[in-house]
Amino acid sequence: MTTATTTVHDRYPTRLTEAAPMMRRPDPTVWGEADGPFTPEQVAAYDAKGFHIQDGLLTPAQVQSCWTEFTRLAADREVAASGAVVRERDSDAVRSIFAVHRHSPVIDALARTPRILDRARQILGSEVYIHQSRINAMPGMVGTGFGWHSDFETWHAEDGLPAPRTVSLSIALTDNFPFNGGLMLMPGAHRVFVPCIGETPDANFRESLQEQTIGVPSDEAVTELGLEFGIEQFTGPAGDALFFDANSMHASSNNITPFSRANVFLVFNSVENAPAAPFGGRTPRPSHIADRDTTPLTPLRSTEFA
């Protein structure tokens, strides 16, 4: 007798009950050879390291208008009622505001600005939409960091993204110093996928957005990757930006300095990598954390420029 059941082979198994070895990712980092604002040398470096730092992506005026939006959204009752505001566990300080491209016309316009949108399209070789957007704030003295992780591991397990075909953009709204919780990345480690141990609890996002404990690599895996690839850091004045791959291994330290750090974070996903059912969880996360509307972003027309 034959059964009609077909099981889709999961190429990135994670949230396992037993340890599994790290693996080389079967997918590329740069999808195709599309033209765009990145030079061929920048594309090659992005491919090799899994990230690229673009100095002065935003003008000071654009930084200022994003900052104004952040303070407005942080005080907005409707935004808070939607669940989009995540606070630090041990203080009332705002840690993240999600779905900022939905709540703010300024951030929506930013994501569709050709010099930004075209870079995402160039790396992903297709039309793109926003899988996740947020402003991450690391308030001075009380901001807590993020342990080592791959974003793709969570997006695959909890949101159902089949492949690491996203580009994340982190834009500094305040100066990012080496000492105020700046993002650290392991150049080249994006080519290695680390299966993680531990079943996904229901509504895991309620804890993980404050402190992630599920879907994180073991200390041994982080040590091995650190020794092989080393660590670099994204630092720079407000307006500088970091483009990075879905599977980059990255982390940030607590901000014990008086200098707050805030970044706009936009995740562009390929429309050819639409979310399926979660690969390591029961229910997809809410749309303000993982948008499931894959309508391609349309470039901002010159008359719409702020």
Q: Check residue 158 for interaction with Fe ion (CB under 5 A).
A: no
Q: Check residue 149 for interaction with ligand 6CS (CB under 6 A).
A: yes
Q: Check residue 151 for interaction with Fe ion (CB under 5 A).
A: yes
Return the residue matching tokens 């041990």: 90
Could you please report the per-residue DSSP string of the chain?
----------SS--SBSS----EE-SS-SS-S----SS-HHHHHHHHHHSEEEETT-S-HHHHHHHHHHHHHHHT-HHHHHTT-EEE-TTSS-EEEEE-HHHH-HHHHHHHT-HHHHHHHHHHHTS-EEEEEEEEEEE-TTTB--EEEEEHHHHHHHHH---S--EEEEEEESS-B-TTTT--EE-TTGGGEE---BSPPPTTTHHHHTTS--SS---HHHHHHHHHHH--EE--BSTT-EEEEETT-EEEE--B-SS--EEEEEEEEEEGGG---S-SS-SSPPPTTTS----PPPPPPPGGG--
Of 3-11, 109-117, 148-156, 229-237, which segment contacts ligand 6CS by CB under 6 A? 148-156
88 vs 151 by CB, closer to Fe ion = 151
Site size for Fe ion (CB under 5 A): 1
69 vs 151 by CB, closer to Fe ion = 151
Amino acid at 78: E
Of 1-9, 194-202, 207-215, 240-248, which segment contacts ligand 6CS by CB under 6 A? 207-215
Asked if 214 and 208 count as a contact pair (C-beta separation under 8 A), the reply is yes
Neighbours of 225 (CB within 10 A): 20
Q: Check residue 245 for interaction with ligand 6CS (CB under 6 A).
A: no
107 vs 267 by CB, closer to ligand 6CS = 267
**Site for ligand 6CS, residues 127 to 146, rule: CB under 6 A:** 132, 146
205 vs 300 by CB, closer to Fe ion = 205
Q: Check residue 151 for interaction with ligand 6CS (CB under 6 A).
A: yes
Site size for ligand 6CS (CB under 6 A): 8
248 vs 260 by CB, closer to ligand 6CS = 248
Site string for Fe ion, 73-112 (x = CB under 5 A): ----------------------------------------
- Please report how close the Cβ of residue 146 comes to ligand 6CS at its closest, in angstroms: 5
Residue 209 interaction partner, one of ligand 6CS, Fe ion, none, beta carbon < 5-8 Å per kind = ligand 6CS
Q: Check residue 209 for interaction with ligand 6CS (CB under 6 A).
A: yes
Task: Specify the length of the chain in residues.
Answer: 306
Q: Check residue 154 for interaction with ligand 6CS (CB under 6 A).
A: yes
Q: Check residue 208 for interaction with ligand 6CS (CB under 6 A).
A: yes
Query: Site residues (CB under 5 A) for Fe ion?
Result: 151
Query: Site residues (CB under 6 A) for ligand 6CS?
Result: 132, 146, 149, 151, 154, 208-209, 212
